[in-house]
Amino acid sequence: MTIEQAIKKFKNLINSSISDGGNEGKTAMIRSSLPILNIHEAVKSSLISNGVYRELISAR
Sequence-distant contacts of 1-10: CB under 8 A, at least 24 apart: 1/38, 1/41, 1/42, 1/45, 2/42, 2/46, 3/39, 3/42, 3/43, 3/46, 5/42, 6/38, 6/39, 6/41, 6/42, 6/43, 7/39, 9/35, 9/38, 10/35, 10/36, 10/38, 10/39
Q: Is there a domain that residue 60 lies in?
A: no
pLDDT band at 58; cut points 50, 70, 90 = confident
Q: Is there a domain that residue 57 lies in?
A: no
pLDDT band at 60; cut points 50, 70, 90 = low
Question: pTM to 2 decimals?
Answer: 0.74
Q: Is there a domain that residue 15 lies in?
A: yes
Q: Is there a domain that residue 58 lies in?
A: no
Q: How many domains would you assign to the chain?
A: 1
Q: Which domain holds residue 41?
A: 3-52
